[in-house]
Chains A and B, each alone.
Chain A
Amino acid sequence: SQTIHQWPATLVQPVGSPLSLECTVEGTSNPNLYWYRQAAGRGLQLLFYSVGIGQISSEVPQNLSASRPQDRQFILSSKKLLLSDSGFYLCAWSAQGASGNTIYFGEGSWLTVV
């Protein structure tokens, strides 16, 4: 069966510090990968998605970046965090093609920028 894991689960970072959130998917190959952000009590905002290694699409301008160095690895990064970057970050995957109607989320990472 397929599983998705992301880490760390929680982190508190000072303004201006770097960020790296990692996500891996097991049990499937060539998945579509996503990073979403959810502010407290708000909806899910799509930040990045990837259809393959090295292929990253950004949905919103921001000081975050994403990379996909391996087929089932997705990384969210920032060189200098802002207070507004605080939130709940969710990695997700879906299958390629018409069968990929469902998106599966990781456990999420709570980021607090102080």
Chain B
Amino acid sequence: GQSLEQPSEVTAVEGAIVQINCTYQTSGFYGLSWYQQHDGGAPTFLSYNALDGLEETGRFSSFLSRSDSYGYLLLQELQMKDSASYFCAVREGGGFQKLVFGTGTRLLVSP
């Protein structure tokens, strides 16, 4: 089977940096993705790592270590609007993009 573990909740203040970790166990692995979901809304794509290393997109960065089955999402210069749930997801299929999601991390940003 497959499993993804994330912390359930993280709190931080505006302007700070926060790291959300994700460890996974899957039968196949073709990449790690991150999604953001605000309360009442649908998840939206943030980033994708197929290879080891760091991917940077503005204030958000994502890291992957395939040998450690581990990745993280790094959010810098936190803003109030970053308060949301963040999900890591692994792509299991090669030809088919079956995504399995973690249970999510709720980020609370305070003034």
- Using CB atoms and an 8 Å cutoff, list the residues of chain A in contact with chain B: 32, 34, 36, 42-46, 49, 51, 90, 94-95, 97, 100-108
CB of B102 within 8 A of CB of A102, answer: no
CB of A49 within 8 A of CB of B98, answer: yes
In angstroms, Cα B92 to Cα A34, docked, is: 14
Asked if B60 is at the interface of the complex by the 8 Å CB criterion, the answer is: no
Q: Which residues of B contact A105 (CB under 8 A)?
A: 42-44
CB of B43 within 8 A of CB of A101, answer: no
Contact status of A101 and B50, CB under 8 A, knowing A42-B103, A46-B98, A46-B99: yes
Q: Size of chain B's interface in residues, with CB distance under 8 A? A: 22
Q: Ordered nearest first, which 3 A-B pairs have the shortest CB separation?
A: A43-B103, A105-B42, A44-B101
CB of B42 within 8 A of CB of A94, answer: no
Q: Which residues of A contact B43 (CB under 8 A)?
A: 44, 90, 105
CB of B87 within 8 A of CB of A44, answer: yes
CB closest residue in chain B, given A45:
B101
CB of A102 within 8 A of CB of B103, answer: no
Q: Which residues of B contact A102 (CB under 8 A)?
A: 33, 45, 48
In angstroms, Cα B58 to Cα A26, docked, is: 29
Asked if B95 is at the interface of the complex by the 8 Å CB criterion, the answer is: yes
CB of B97 within 8 A of CB of A106, answer: no
In angstroms, Cα B97 to Cα A94, docked, is: 7
A94 CB to nearest chain B CB (Å)? 5
Q: Which residues of B contact A90 (CB under 8 A)?
A: 42-43
Asked if B100 is at the interface of the complex by the 8 Å CB criterion, the answer is: yes
Most-contacted residue by chain B among A46, A103, A104 (CB, 10 A):
A103
Residues in B31-54 with C-beta less than 8 Å from chain A: 31, 33, 41-45, 48, 50
Give 17 A-B pairs besides A45-B101, A49-B96 with Cβ atoms closer than 8 angstroms: A32-B96, A36-B101, A42-B103, A42-B104, A43-B104, A44-B43, A46-B98, A90-B43, A94-B99, A97-B95, A100-B97, A103-B33, A103-B45, A105-B42, A105-B44, A106-B42, A108-B41
